[in-house]
Amino acid sequence: MGATHAFGAVGEALDSALGSLSRITKPGGVILIGDGYWRTDPEPSYLEAAGLQKEELRSHTENIESGEKIGLECIYNARASSEEWDHFEGAFWMAAERELVLHPNDPETTRTAQKRRTWKRAYLEWGRATMGFALYLFLKPPTRMDS
């Protein structure tokens, strides 16, 4: 598991990651990639509160189409449930608060905890219903030899 945003600018990272992985995958091989998606169009208030841009994610279908546009076939996908997403998000909140308990006078720890609290409020108000995460399994089709 990595971060698709390491592969490029907002809105292009998934395409770039799939393109790079496709180039090193043999025909008949598979690519497993996880990425976020918009469950619904994000409200401007949510984007502002969370410090996000709408272009950072696409719909679930658009994520699948991103691979198909370069010749990959999505053969399986698994979307995280709301409970799984809560667990993922909650782990970050808990870690920030634990660090604050351990280092109550550290300004950086205080800033991190405050950022997590702001994110948590946005997540609880909008994010849980708006943002999702899925794993996508793409097949790089085998090369066909015409007779």
Q: 106 pLDDT band (50/70/90 cuts)?
A: very high
Residue 95, pLDDT > 90, answer: yes
Percent of the chain with pLDDT over 70: 93
Contact 89, 131 (CB under 8 A): no
Domain residue spans in the chain?
Answer: 4-139
Q: Can you give the pLDDT at residue 143?
A: 83
Q: Running DSSP on this structure, what letter comes out for residue 127?
A: I
For the stretch 124-141, pLDDT in tens is: 999 999 999 999 999 999
Multiple choice CATH, 4-139, 3.40.50.150, 2.60.40.3880, 3.90.850.10, 3.40.50.300: 3.40.50.150
Q: 10 pLDDT band (50/70/90 cuts)?
A: low
Single pTM value for the model: 0.87
C-alpha to C-alpha distance for 101 and 109, rounded to whole angstroms: 9
What stretches of 1-147 adopt beta strand conformation (E)? 30-38, 73-79, 131-139
Q: Is residue 54 packed enough to be buried (19+ CB in 10 Å), middle (13-18) or exposed (0-12)?
A: middle
